[in-house]
Structure 1
Amino acid sequence: MSDRVHPTLDDPVVASLSEGVGGPMGSRGTRHPWWTPLRVVLALTAVCFALGMVQKNTCYQASWQNGDTRYSHMCYSDLPYLYTGRGFVELNWPYSGDEQVRARYDVMEYPAGISYFAWGSAWVTHWLSGSPDLSPRYGRSVGKLTEEKAIQREMRLFVTVNAIGLAAVTLLAAWFLAGVHRRRPWDAALFALSPMLALTGLVNWDLLAVVTVAGALWAWSRDRPVLTGVLIGVGAAIKLYPLFLLGGVLVICARDRRLMRFATAAVAAAGAWVVTNLPAYLTGREQWDVFWRFNADRGADLGSIWLVIQQVRDGSEAFSFHPVTINQASWVFFGCWCLGVLLLGMFAPRTPRLAQLGFLVVAGFLLVNKVYSPQYVLWLLPLAVLARPRWRDQIVWQAGELFYFAAVWWYLGGFLSPGGGGDVGAYWVAIVVRMVAELYLVAVVVRDVLRPDHDPVRAGEDEPEPEAASPLPEPALSR
Structure 2
Amino acid sequence: MTASGRGTTTSDPVATAASEVIGGPRGRYAARELPWMFTAAVVSALAAIPAGFGIALRIPCLRTHWSGDGQFWNACYSDLPNAYRDGDLGAGLAAFLRGAEGAPTTGQPPLTGLMLTAVASLVPSAEREGTRIAWYFALWAVLLTLLLLAVIWLVASSSRRPWTSAHVALAPVVALVGFVSADLLGVALASAGMWAWGRRRPGAAGVLLGLAISARSYPVLILVAIGLLAVRSGRLREFGRTAGHAVATFLGVTGALWLLNPDAAASAYQGWAAVGAGYGSPWLLPQLAGHPLPTWAVTALAVLGWVVAIGVGAVLALASARRPSLAEVSLVMVGIVLVTGKSFTVQSSLWLVPLIAWSLVQWRDHLIWAAAEAMNFVAVWLTIAAGKVPDRGLPNPWYAFFSMLRVIAVLWLVAMVWLQARERWGRSQPEPDDLAGPMTGAEDRVIVRFT
**What TM-score do the two structures reach when normalised by structure 1?**
0.84
Shift of 1:112: 1.2
Q: Show the counterpart of 2:443.
A: none
3-state SS of the aligned residue for 1:9?
Answer: coil
Any conservation in 2 of the 1:213–1:382 contact (CA below 8 Å)? no
Are the aligned partners of 2:3 and 2:27 in contact in 1 as well (CA < 8 Å)? Answer: no
Q: How does 1:81-100 map to 2 (within 5 A)?
A: 81-91=82-92, 93-99=95-101
- The residue identity in structure 2 corresponding to 1:62 is T
Q: Distance in 1 between matches of 2:182 and 2:255?
A: 20
RMSD between superposed Cα atoms in Å: 2.8
Q: 1:59 aligns with which of 58, 61, 83?
A: 61
1:432 correspondence with 2:433? no
8 Å Cα contact 1:411/1:417 also seen in 2: no
Structure 1 residues 2 and 320 mapped into 2: Cα distance closer, same or farther (>3 Å)? closer
CA 1:423–1:167: 2 relative to 1, 3 Å: closer
What TM-score comes out, normalization by structure 2 length? 0.89
Matching residue of 1:215: 192
Could you tell me how far apart the structure 2 residues matched to 1:442 and 1:470 are? 26
Are 1:180 and 2:180 matched, yes or no? no
TM-aligned CA distance change 1:285 to 1:448, over 3 Å: same
Which residue of 1 is the match for residue 230 of structure 2? 253
1:312-351 matches, within 5 Å, as 312=289, 314=290, 319-351=291-323
Give 2:242's match in structure 1, choosing from 265, 276, 280.
265
Could you tell me which residue of structure 2 aligns to residue 24 of structure 1?
25
Paired residue for 1:152, among 127, 130, 136? 130
Q: Distance in 2 between matches of 1:421 and 1:219?
A: 46
Q: Is 1:353 equivalent to 2:320 in the alignment?
A: no
How far the C-alpha of 1:32 sits from its partner, in A, is 7.7
- The answer to whether residue 167 in structure 2 is matched with residue 166 in structure 1 is no
Change over 3 Å in CA distance of 1:395–1:449 after alignment to 2: same
**CA 1:7–1:464 in 2, change beyond 3 Å: closer, same or farther?**
closer
Identity %: 27
**1:171-190 deviations in whole A, cap 9, x for unaligned?**
11111111222x21011101
Conserved in 2, the CA contact under 8 Å of 1:417 and 1:423? no
Residues 416 and 191 of structure 1, relative CA distance in 2, 3 Å threshold: farther
The Cα of 1:34 is off from its aligned counterpart by 11
Q: What CA distance in whole angstroms lies between the structure 2 residues aligned with 1:269 and 1:325?
A: 31
Q: What amino acid sits opposite 1:116 in the alignment?
A: L
Is the alpha carbon distance of 1:284 and 1:39 closer, same or farther for their aligned partners in structure 2, counting shifts above 3 Å? same
Tell me, yes or no, if the aligned pair for 2:323 and 2:430 is still in contact at 8 Å: no
Distance in 1, matches of 2:3 and 2:437, equals 17
**Cα 1:2–1:326 shift into 2, 3 Å:** closer
Match of 1:71 in 2: 72
Whichever residue aligns with residue 194 of structure 2, its letter is L
How many aligned residue pairs are there?
436
1:143 maps to none
Verify the 8 A CA contact 1:222 1:469 in the aligned structure 2. Answer: yes
Q: How does 1:297-308 map to 2 (within 5 A)?
A: 297-308=274-285
Secondary structure of 1:7's aligned partner: coil
CA distance in 1, matches of 2:357, 2:315: 23
Structure 2 residues without counterparts, runs of 5 or longer: 440-451
User: Judging changes above 3 Å, is the alpha-carbon distance between structure 1 residues 79 and 167 closer, same or farther for their aligned structure 2 residues?
Assistant: same
8 Å CA contact 1:64–1:80 kept in 2: the answer is yes
Give CA-to-partner distance per residue, 1:198-221, whole Å, 9 cap, x none.
Answer: 111111100000101211221122
| Distance in 2 between residues matched to 1:422 and 1:53, nearest whole Å | 25
Query: Which has the greater radius of gyration?
Result: 1
Q: Secondary structure at the match of 2:228?
A: helix
- Structure 1: which 5+ runs fail to align? 133-148, 472-479
In the aligned structure 1, how far is the partner of 2:50 from the partner of 2:392? 40
Out of 106, 112, 115, the residue aligned to residue 114 of structure 1 is 112
- 1:390 is aligned, of 362, 365, 370, to 362
CA deviation string 1:103-162 (max 9, x = no partner): xx6x32101111111111111113xx3xx6xxxxxxxxxxxxxxxx71110100011011
CA contact 2:379–2:394 (8 Å) conserved in 1: no
CA contact (8 A) 1:95 1:288 kept: no
Per-residue deviation, 1:22? 4.0
